[in-house]
Structure 1
Amino acid sequence: MDLSRQDTRETPAAEIRSGSALPFRDALPPEAPLAMPVQDLARFDPATAHRPGVRHAAPWAQRLLVFGLAALLTAYGAWQMYQVVSVSGGVSALQYALLALFTLNFSWIALAFAGAVLGFLVLLPGVLRRAAPDPLPSGLSTRTAVVMPVYNEGTARVFAALQAMHEGIAASGLGAHFDWFVLSDSTSPDAWVAEERAFLALRERLGDGARLYYRHRRRNHHRKAGNIADFVTRWGGAYDHMLVLDADSLLTPECILGLTAAMEADPDAGIVQSLPLIVNRNTLFARVQQFAGRIYGPIIATGLSAWSGRTANYWGHNAIIRTRAFAEACGLPDLGGKPPFGGHVLSHDFVEAALIARAGWGVRMLPGLPGSYEESPPSLIDVAVRDRRWAQGNLQHARIIGAAGLKLASRQHFATGIAGYVASPLWAAQLLIGLALVAQTAFVKPEYFTSEFGLYPVFPRFDAVRALQLFGLTMGVLLAPKFLGLVLALLDGPVRRACGGGLRLVLSCLIEILLSALIAPIAMLIQSGSVFQILAGRDTGWNPQRRDDGSIPFADIVRRHRWHMVLGIVAGVSAFAIATSLFLWMSPTILGLVFAIPISWASGQLGLGLALKRAGLLMIPEEREPPAVLTRAGTLAAENAARCLDEADALEALHADRALAEAHARMLPAAESRPRGAVETEHVLAQAKIVEAETLSEARAWIAAPKERMALLHDRALLDRLARLAP
């Protein structure tokens, strides 16, 4: 439906009460359709690809450094492990299994190490020279849509961030080049109406020239990917670019303008991705993540950008995209079969980057562009909920990695994403096999009379000295990216001072390493469980991410982690029974599992995180000297929270405010056609209940199910009946 053709008569000002809906204007601009054909993953014709105007050389030297160094490290580690297990002169089947698992796992951390080394080498000269930032553009020649998909989010934060970014761009004098869209997929009736109230109020505050729009989809088909595709096919033709955000995204005006200028300067670029840093986090777990992302993240992202070149990755948000290139190349097909491996593409961002690169467009990263921010879940359990969805999406890429025409780097991105989750059960299997071999060494008697002739019995033994050296090498490779990030932060005077000085910075890194080491075995088992569930055919839902600071009920923590604790106790007792040295070697893993419940509880504690903050630990520069957009967004969020939009009942809000009810009705999407005789149960129930209800309180009590309320909120006739009920 084209809402620009609807009746836009404004409600008289006398009807607008404090905190209520404001005079209605068009919620959406005229549509500008853009075709987005579904892509064929089995076939691709290179003749249809975009032909760059300038030849862009691939970064082969950087790739040789990263993959060559990773291969050499892996070969050396595998050889050392072979020496460890073959000291007795023979290698058993279990020892070969241990060798194979070690090689796979070591290759994963070796690649991360090599990428971090490259990132360190790229960033070091800039830190030493203190190079000045690139100047901001004085003008733009294109139009960009800033799109923020939302799904049952808190409106106070979402619309505060949107307003802060909008004000920053308006102050730059380049606001006419940007339109702002809130693309709602919310399935909660209260969240939907709260979004509309916040939208109408914000647009009134910003004025007629705000270029702010709101759209709610009746059905969240294909989730976020479908949400963006719906925007592209309906309005994409009016915009050269779209800047895709998440509900927790916050970008400085300098970052938004920098991304737009980079896209304008590179006509062969399809996606330009910034590096989002975590901010505004205060629980213990979230502060650890925030600190790690700020100190270690840049060297990892810079290394990835350096070897990827123009076939980099896309993380689904805080990136600018050439709209027509995206429409032509990124129509996602449904995969055959049922979820978790079939159905719509869950982790769409990796796939969209691969498809747009296949179509001849560049996918670039700008990790050095400051001012790109996001938030993170507040506790270990919250991360696990999100991680379950990511695990399914990444493992689903096993069906896409072989798609026709993909660039080699794109296939590597898929492989890295898959390995990131497969690594957890592989590490768990390596620990179990290692434990079994040590138990065999301690308890199994040597076989004196084997099928093969030999003068001496074969004892299952290990080379303890080599094993210790290999353990040191593994830890060094695993922790090196953290130490390289620390070195860069110590060399960077402003960053070092903003983190509390050199001593506090080092202490913060040690705290992060300790907490990460304790959390690692818990995360390993959680991810292993996710992988096994996916392989068993269990689909995940799409629950909204909890972004607020706060703890989870202790009973839920015990329920989630009780088996982790039991497994830790069993592993500790078994290791101690076998050998004290084995117990000491496994102590980090054992401690993390045995204390899984208190660790998970502590992870979501606001008090612990704030205590470290008061001590100047786990600090990041954005806390010492917050950018103006962060401060402004925080102030606006507090003001929005005071309006209590998120606490309001949808039916009560619409009944109490006629202006809001009229605006809601005008913003409704077109009614869906249905075959005669086919009815929706929820709609029929809502209709029957609202017709019988005589008061608002009866309607609220009877129509309590969210789906029934959503059916009512989509029906203008039922909304009219609601408005005529007695209070």
Structure 2
Amino acid sequence: MERPSAEEPRAPIEPAMPPERHLAMPIQSLRKWSGSEERTLLAPGRLRTPWLSRLVVFGGALALTGYGAWQMYQVVSVSRTTILQWVLLALFTINFSWIALAFTSAIVGFLALLRRRAPGEPPRTLASRTAVVMPVYNESTARVFAAFAAIRESIEATGLGEHFDYFILSDTTNPDVWIAEERAFLALRRRIGPDARVYYRHRQKNTHRKAGNIADFVSRWGGHYDHMLVLDADSLMTGDCIVRLAAAMEADPDAGIIQSLPLIINRNTLFARVQQFAARVYGPVIAKGLAVWMGRDGNYWGHNAIIRTAAFAAHCGLPDLPGKPPFGGHILSHDFVEAALIRRAGWTVYMLPELEGSYEESPPSLIDLAARDRRWCQGNLQHSRVIGSRGLKLATRQHFATGIFSYLASPLWLFQLIVGITLVLQTRYVRPEYFTKEFSLFPVWPRFDAERALALFALTMGILLAPKFFGLVLMLFSRGERQASGGGIRLLLSTLLEILLSALLAPIMMVIQSGAVFQILAGRDTGWQPQRRDDGSIPFHDIVRRHRGHVFLGVATGVSAFMIAPSLFAWMSPTIIGLLLAIPISWGSGLLSAGLGLKRAGLLLTPEETFRPPIAVRASELQEDFARDGFDDADAIAVLHADGEMRACHEAMLPTAPPRKRGVIDADRAMAEAKLVDAETIEDAIAWLKPKERMAVLHDRALLALLTSLPARRPMSAVHAV
């Protein structure tokens, strides 16, 4: 089909959204719940608690932790144990339990994947209707709409497209991006033609952010649909994957949420390709382990999952937490809480990690990851106020605990290092106490069993690296995946490179996450900035500014450790080196050239890079196509002034404005009106209007009319007069 140009006359616009069909979405209570409110299962035979897997995972982790704690006690109890040594033992035990649990879960995943089966035939028919929804927030429209169009094409190609409608749900606050989205939406509809079933809605106020965006859709239009498939702005999913999810939901009358496993693709910087490789090689082992022991008490990651719409509406209305942010206010990491509430009500939540065709992207640099991680950190720590909610399943509480501890682990690791340094410092410089209150023939000072400590360190590293080894073994055993990853030798070299780079990045992330935890505990709230999803580098001065504190900490730690004992410096060298090199590591890992160079050498290669998924290829083609329209580069005010048809379409998409309350003045609207009245040309308006004032103009039909009345340039008489 020939693509119309941006200049061709537009057909009259259809409604941007279908007629509303409301679903009640009551706010849920975290304090009140009765077991009688839990629904009765329609297919109870499907809900089988995987007790054996949980025994292996949690029992095995407990046994390993007990053994590690005992060995650590033997290390520090050569002589009489001091208070600091007890503290060291406690911190070690907590940190060791974390990696032990990951290890035993990975064992379960590894054994399960050894017995994996090929997926069956895709469904030929569906009985339900599904809304495919993509929430967006100040994104590149060329990239977002290209991915969205590729997903739609892939679904339609299955022959089951009539069961799906497609929605872009915008929370965008940038006026230029908002108009670019509308233009891209209209262009996509023109491209598809009749029966596009593509819709677009922009919220005037992004209340409660993404969770509020989804809730607004469900409460107003959710009644049309049995299910909704939730995407992220960087999601790609094949039609085969989506129709299989819809069929799985139809086949299980008790399923509330079914989560797929998104693989990372399309990444080219060194940092992002390390993440991409790790997620591809080790991620399936970890995800399969989680899926096995979680069973139907699973979790939800907020995207690339299908949800039963009525169940979500009835049980996932999120309350605001008492108090102010960071621990109060609206819930940031809403997905965990939505899974908890829908599971509490008797619906099941589970993952299908073996389902192929689910993809996402990752941050291109360490600084971008840190920005996203700061928001996730606050959201997970906020769950400390949700974990005790009435009626939650035990497995759900464990999900919350895991999320909370995933961020507390960094400051605990940092404290363990500090206590270790202090003990060595005490041994070297503090005079032993010869005259204690208790009789002793020998001075009391800390001593360690160096040989046992070395063996314990080797055990810890083995447990830490074992999930990576499991993933590598599975890739090596699969001929197709091994060859698509560059062959066995390159796969081994890539794994070693990933381990080395991850080891260098680990201490930097430890300090970053520790700082985030301390800031949140001190009451500092995070913002909600749009994520960078390109492969562009960050200015070097910004990298220096963000990491100079890490370098200073590395210098101070290194000098102190070397002055105390060269052996201590050697023991801490991985941490010290990572901090000392924080600036070049962050800069180099964010370089596009470094990532592409390794790609050309066949290192950190994933099967999806060697044989790109057709949907990713199609999305790239469409992105180039959309980019040629230049929607992302245009000024919103100029576009609406120059293009009457676009202005009419924009006004048709605006909701009916409520009447203004007397005596209540919107400052941004008042300023925008004053500037438009004072402006002599559209150039004046473009130059004078600030972003919030521009948004006020775009939301107001009267101001748009005032904008339209401005001439494009000053009359010649006025120019001569000047």
* TM-score class normalised by the smaller sequence: over 0.9
Moved more, 450-459 or 539-548: 450-459
Q: Give the counterpart letter for 1:27 in structure 2.
A: A
Counterpart of 1:46 (choices 35, 48, 66) is 35
Counterpart of 1:72 (choices 63, 68, 85) is 63
Cα deviations by residue, 1:666-704 (Å, 9 ceiling, x for unpaired): 10123144431111110100011112212111000110x
Structure-2 separation of matches of 1:246 and 1:486 = 29
- 2:26 equivalent in structure 1: 37
Structure-2 separation of matches of 1:19 and 1:249 = 31
Counterpart of 1:432 (choices 418, 428, 433) is 418
Q: Secondary structure at the match of 2:228?
A: strand
When the two structures are superposed, what TM-score results if normalisation uses the length of structure 2?
Answer: 0.97
Matched, 1:506 2:492: yes
Moved more, 223-232 or 469-478: 469-478
Contact 1:305–1:367 (CA<8 Å) still a contact in 2?
yes
Structure-2 separation of matches of 1:671 and 1:601 = 48
- 1:160 equivalent in structure 2: 146
Counterpart of 1:83 (choices 49, 74, 77) is 74
Counterpart of 1:362 (choices 342, 348, 353) is 348
Measured after TM superposition, the shift of residue 208 of structure 1 is: 1.4
- 1:382 equivalent in structure 2: 368
Matched, 1:494 2:480: yes
Cα deviations by residue, 1:320-350 (Å, 9 ceiling, x for unpaired): 0000000111010011000000001110000
Q: Counterparts in 2 of 1:9-20, with a 5 A limit?
A: 18=7
Contact 1:199–1:214 (CA<8 Å) still a contact in 2?
yes
Measured after TM superposition, the shift of residue 566 of structure 1 is: 0.6
Moved more, 254-263 or 47-56: 47-56
Counterpart of 1:336 (choices 322, 333, 353) is 322
- 1:255 equivalent in structure 2: 241
Contact 1:20–1:660 (CA<8 Å) still a contact in 2?
no
Contact 1:22–1:659 (CA<8 Å) still a contact in 2?
no
Structure-1 separation of matches of 2:490 and 2:452 = 36
Cα deviations by residue, 1:556-608 (Å, 9 ceiling, x for unpaired): 11111001001101111111111111111111100000010011111210000
- 2:701 equivalent in structure 1: 716
Distance 1:682 1:20, change over 3 A: farther
Measured after TM superposition, the shift of residue 16 of structure 1 is: 9.2
Distance 1:645 1:132, change over 3 A: same
Counterpart of 1:96 (choices 86, 97, 103) is 86
Structure-2 separation of matches of 1:573 and 1:239 = 63
Cα deviations by residue, 1:291-343 (Å, 9 ceiling, x for unpaired): 00000000100000101110100000000000000011101001100000000
Structure-1 separation of matches of 2:348 and 2:189 = 36
- 1:409 equivalent in structure 2: 395
Distance 1:17 1:204, change over 3 A: closer
- 1:123 equivalent in structure 2: 113
Q: Secondary structure at the match of 1:210?
A: coil
Contact 1:283–1:610 (CA<8 Å) still a contact in 2?
yes
Structure-2 separation of matches of 1:471 and 1:514 = 17
Q: Counterparts in 2 of 1:190-201, with a 5 A limit?
A: 190-201=176-187
Contact 1:20–1:657 (CA<8 Å) still a contact in 2?
no
Matched, 1:313 2:302: no
Measured after TM superposition, the shift of residue 367 of structure 1 is: 0.3
Distance 1:34 1:69, change over 3 A: same
Contact 1:19–1:643 (CA<8 Å) still a contact in 2?
no
Distance 1:218 1:78, change over 3 A: same
Measured after TM superposition, the shift of residue 47 of structure 1 is: 1.4
Structure-2 separation of matches of 1:338 and 1:21 = 48
- 1:8 equivalent in structure 2: none
Distance 1:696 1:450, change over 3 A: same
Structure-2 separation of matches of 1:153 and 1:281 = 17
- 1:527 equivalent in structure 2: 513
Structure-2 separation of matches of 1:668 and 1:298 = 44
Q: Secondary structure at the match of 1:316?
A: coil
Contact 2:669–2:693 (CA<8 Å) still a contact in 1?
yes
RMSD between aligned residues: 1.2
Q: Secondary structure at the match of 1:26?
A: coil
Matched, 1:484 2:470: yes
Structure-2 separation of matches of 1:602 and 1:671 = 50
Matched, 1:696 2:682: yes
Q: Counterparts in 2 of 1:600-619, with a 5 A limit?
A: 600-619=586-605
Structure-1 separation of matches of 2:327 and 2:49 = 33
Measured after TM superposition, the shift of residue 133 of structure 1 is: 2.2
Contact 2:105–2:289 (CA<8 Å) still a contact in 1?
yes
- 1:349 equivalent in structure 2: 335
Measured after TM superposition, the shift of residue 497 of structure 1 is: 0.6
Percentage identity across aligned positions?
66
Structure-1 separation of matches of 2:219 and 2:118 = 41
Structure-1 separation of matches of 2:367 and 2:131 = 35
Structure-2 separation of matches of 1:279 and 1:433 = 41
Matched, 1:60 2:51: yes
Measured after TM superposition, the shift of residue 20 of structure 1 is: 8.0
Structure-2 separation of matches of 1:624 and 1:486 = 18
Q: Secondary structure at the match of 2:18?
A: coil
- Alignment gaps of 5+ in structure 1: 1-14
Distance 1:597 1:722, change over 3 A: same
Structure-1 separation of matches of 2:289 and 2:243 = 24
Matched, 1:234 2:224: no
Moved more, 300-309 or 43-52: 43-52
Q: Secondary structure at the match of 1:116?
A: helix
- 1:277 equivalent in structure 2: 263
Structure-1 separation of matches of 2:276 and 2:660 = 49
Counterpart of 1:111 (choices 97, 101, 110) is 101
Measured after TM superposition, the shift of residue 69 of structure 1 is: 0.6
Q: Give the counterpart letter for 2:257 in structure 1.
A: I
- Alignment gaps of 5+ in structure 2: 713-722
Contact 2:170–2:202 (CA<8 Å) still a contact in 1?
yes
Contact 2:257–2:307 (CA<8 Å) still a contact in 1?
yes
Measured after TM superposition, the shift of residue 446 of structure 1 is: 1.8
Structure-2 separation of matches of 1:583 and 1:562 = 21
- 1:6 equivalent in structure 2: none
Q: Counterparts in 2 of 1:526-605, with a 5 A limit?
A: 526-605=512-591
Contact 2:380–2:400 (CA<8 Å) still a contact in 1?
yes
Structure-2 separation of matches of 1:348 and 1:372 = 21
Runs of 4+ more than 6 Å apart: none
Moved more, 445-454 or 28-37: 445-454
Matched, 1:169 2:159: no
Structure-2 separation of matches of 1:687 and 1:346 = 35
Q: Secondary structure at the match of 2:329?
A: coil
Counterpart of 1:650 (choices 611, 626, 636) is 636
Distance 1:16 1:490, change over 3 A: closer
Structure-1 separation of matches of 2:583 and 2:257 = 42
Contact 1:21–1:657 (CA<8 Å) still a contact in 2?
no
Structure-1 separation of matches of 2:121 and 2:616 = 21
Distance 1:20 1:419, change over 3 A: farther
Structure-1 separation of matches of 2:490 and 2:19 = 55
Q: Give the counterpart letter for 1:84 in structure 2.
A: V
Contact 1:248–1:374 (CA<8 Å) still a contact in 2?
yes
Cα deviations by residue, 1:248-285 (Å, 9 ceiling, x for unpaired): 00001111111111101101000000001110000010
